[in-house]
Amino acid sequence: MRFDIISALPKIYDAFSVSQIWQRAKEKGLLECHVHDLRDYTNDRHRTIDDAPYGGGAGMLLKIEPLVQALESLPKLPNCRILAASPKGRRLDQPFVENLAKLEQIIVISGRYEGIDQRFIDGWVDEEFSVGDYILSGGDLPAMVLMEAVGRLIPGVVGNQESITEDSFSSGLLKYPQYTRPPVFRGLEVPSVLRNGHHLDIEKWRKEQALKQTRQKRPDLL
């Protein structure tokens, strides 16, 4: 999987890309992450990437020219989608992420300021995505959320594949409660069913608890 990020703040991705999981995945050739500075695709000495919106209004918009130049400079694999982070976009949920993980390449346009010239969205972007019904200062954090969510689904990136298939939302339910040692702490005990070694009982308990958690915390998923 290849990720290309077009951003006005490319250095914000440095800490993300040096995480242990990403480093191992890059060494194995499973993931690539290329971050492109939008200002490198401007034609004026001030490296201008934004301008005031027609019709007035607060804030500035990312200009279409540097966005198109940046996008057209990138190599594109056959199975590629171009996404833009936007509060108007589709919610980034697990089914969406699983579909994205089937691609060879994802290009993410990270917005900044008040947004992006709509002509670029209409003409060059395949889909907009959102990480929630709230406003952020830019699209860089959503871009990193997308890369984390998609990247971990690529076979071999996460060492224990079972941990992926049992994650919350993978079954359509929230994950069951989990416990580790010690078995008792200040009178708080690990449920006995998890300590009896009977795998069928454990599996049944986990399914029941996952359903209970979902009913209590996310009934909209049922």
Give per-10-residue mean pLDDT for the chain (222 aa).
Answer: 97 87 91 97 95 92 97 98 96 96 98 92 98 94 97 89 63 89 94 94 95 94 90
User: Domain ranges in the chain?
Assistant: 2-151, 166-221
Q: Specify the pLDDT at position 99.
A: 98
pLDDT at 182: 94
The residues assigned a catalytic role are: 87, 114, 152, 167
For residue 161, what pLDDT is reported? 66
- What pLDDT does residue 22 have? 87
Measured CA to CA, the distance from residue 143 to residue 39 in angstroms comes to: 18
pLDDT for 169: 65
CA angle, 87 then 89 then 91, to 5°? 95
Report the distance separating Cα 96 and Cα 20, nearest Å: 25
CATH topology of domain 166-221: Trp Operon Repressor; Chain A (1.10.1270)
**Hey, what CATH class is 2-151 in?**
alpha beta
Q: What angle do CA 87, 52, 138 make, to 5 degrees?
A: 30
Is 0.75 topped by the overall pTM? yes
